[in-house]
Amino acid sequence: MKDKHCFLIAEYCSAPFYMGWHLYLRDTNTRQKLNRDGTWGWLRNIHRPGENPAQQVFDKLGIKIKGDGTCDYDGIAEIAKRFPIKHEKIGGKPRGCIAVMVDKYGHITLPAA
């Protein structure tokens, strides 16, 4: 399997049970709820050591997860602040996007320059 071009999408959710910043791995950067195959692409537990498939991206960009990643001062919000999608907000907060590559093992990295 070849490496796949995808996008890390940082979005804010204002729904009571899911309130906070969420990180998604999507196959397009358009405003959508699901990937083409019907999956959400929600990357959970990114604050747990060894469980963040995008850790290499965070490290390379100097972004730290301080808590669980969902607060305004934490890592996922930093993606939206640094890489906002022009004219797109969710819950009154910017929506962010970074182009990434995903290898056959599910490791997420920045594309080679």
Higher pLDDT, 32 or 94: 94
Instruction: Decide if pLDDT at 6 tops 90.
Output: yes
Q: How far apart are CA 62 and CA 73, in angstroms?
A: 14
> What per-residue confidence (pLDDT) applies to 74?
83
pLDDT in tens, 68-110: 778 888 889 999 999 999 888 887 899 999 999 999 988 899 9
Q: What's the token pair of residue 22?
A: 């969420």
Domain containing 52: what range? Answer: 4-109
Total number of domains in the chain:
1
Asked if residue 42 has pLDDT above 80, the reply is yes
